[in-house]
Amino acid sequence: MTRTNRLFQLMQALRTGAPPQTAMTLARDLGVSARTVHRDIDTLRGLGAVIDGAAGFGFTLIEDAALPPMGFDNDELEALVLGLREVEQIGDPDLAAAAGRALRKLQGRLPPSQSQRLKHAVLSAKRFCQPAPPSISVAGLRQATRDEVAVEFAYVDAKGAASQRRVNPLGIVYMDQSTVLLSWCHLRRDFRVFRLDRMQGLLVTGQSFRPNRVPMLRDALTRIQQDIAQMAKARDPDE
């Protein structure tokens, strides 16, 4: 196999495989060594492909320089505008500002006809009742979640009981009345949900739990779905 063909097949594997894909898996599929895969990943990055990941954690194709810009139909454009306008309404200041920038970037990079439709979109979003404002740096919490490092904070629950928590942050959910953190709590040794407006003194530790965030988040969401199903069954025992 020539090097050009190998690079092409590696790109195809990154495009079609379930991310993240480890070097060992890619090497087995291509019939080469893991070291060769690492060298080829560096080559693809040099050619403009944006590939996230590193040795030991797997690789994910984020942006493919070989593919043309994506177009959107009318409903897709409206969905993008609605979603970003909603983030501007309910997000913390950093996230709301990011949504505004994303909308302007999107408008500037679309073909003129689509840019005009985006500028004068039919849909928008307005919240008259804002969620309780967070009492910590949500930007710092988001970064810790992306970096997969544990955080510590003081917490006061709904009954007024105070505690100090160390958790693995898994995801942030914006709800009607509050914004909450889905996490694995080191104190309770179980999944827990914490309201951001009841957290104080956020401290980002150096304790990494990579690469476990995604499977832990999947397990947490499964647990929540099971709890919801059980509550629904308890309300309607005849089902």
At position 106, the amino acid (one-letter code) is L
Query: pLDDT (tens digit, 9 = 90+) per residue, 163-172?
Result: 999 999 999 9
Task: Kindly state whether residues 229 and 179 are assigned to the same domain.
Answer: yes
Residue 66 pLDDT class (50, 70, 90 cuts): low
Residue 63 CA: distances (Å) to CA of 14, 26, 44, 183: 11, 18, 11, 29
What is each CA distance from 109 to 20, 53, 69, 144, 163, in whole angstroms? 28, 27, 9, 31, 48
pLDDT at position 17 is 78
pLDDT number for residue 82:
92
For residue 68, what pLDDT is reported? 53
47 shares a domain with 80: no
In a domain, 142, yes or no: yes
Q: What is the C-alpha separation between 52 and 29, in angstroms, rounded?
A: 20
Residue 139 vs residue 130, higher pLDDT = 139
Residue 129 lies in a domain: no
Q: Which of 22-31, 55-64, 135-144 has the lowest mean pLDDT?
A: 55-64
- Mean pLDDT, residues 198-213 taken together: 95
Classify residue 21 by its DSSP letter.
B
Q: Does position 197 have pLDDT exceeding 90, yes or no?
A: yes
Say whether both 198 and 143 belong to one domain: yes
User: Which is nearest to 195 in space by CA: 174, 211, 170, 225?
Assistant: 174
Q: What percent of the chain is modeled with pLDDT above 70?
A: 93
Q: What is the mean pLDDT of the chain?
A: 87
Q: How large is the average pLDDT for residues 65-82?
A: 75
The answer to whether residue 48 sits within a structural domain is yes
pLDDT of 69 higher than 60? no
Residue 71: per-residue pLDDT:
64
Residues 96 and 176 both lie in one domain: no
Instruction: Convert the pLDDT of each residue in 213-228 to its tens digit.
Output: 999 999 999 998 888 8
What is the structure's pLDDT at 122? Answer: 87
pLDDT at 238: 55
Place of tokens 């009318």: 74
Contact 1, 33 (CB under 8 A): no
Residue 144 pLDDT exceeds 80: yes
Residue 91 shares a structural domain with residue 154: no
Residue where the block lists tokens 């493919």: 64
Domain extent, residue 42, equals 3-63
Q: Say yes or no: 38 and 82 in one domain.
A: no
Number of domains present in the structure of the chain: 3
**Minimal CA–CA distance to 147: which of 193, 60, 206?**
206
On whether residue 193 sits in a domain, the answer given is: yes
Please report whether residue 132 resides in a domain.
no
Cβ neighbours for 225, distance < 8 A, ≥ 6 positions apart: none
Query: 144 and 85 in one domain?
Result: no
Q: Are 7 and 46 found together in one domain?
A: yes
Q: Tell which of 38, 63, 88 closes a domain.
A: 63
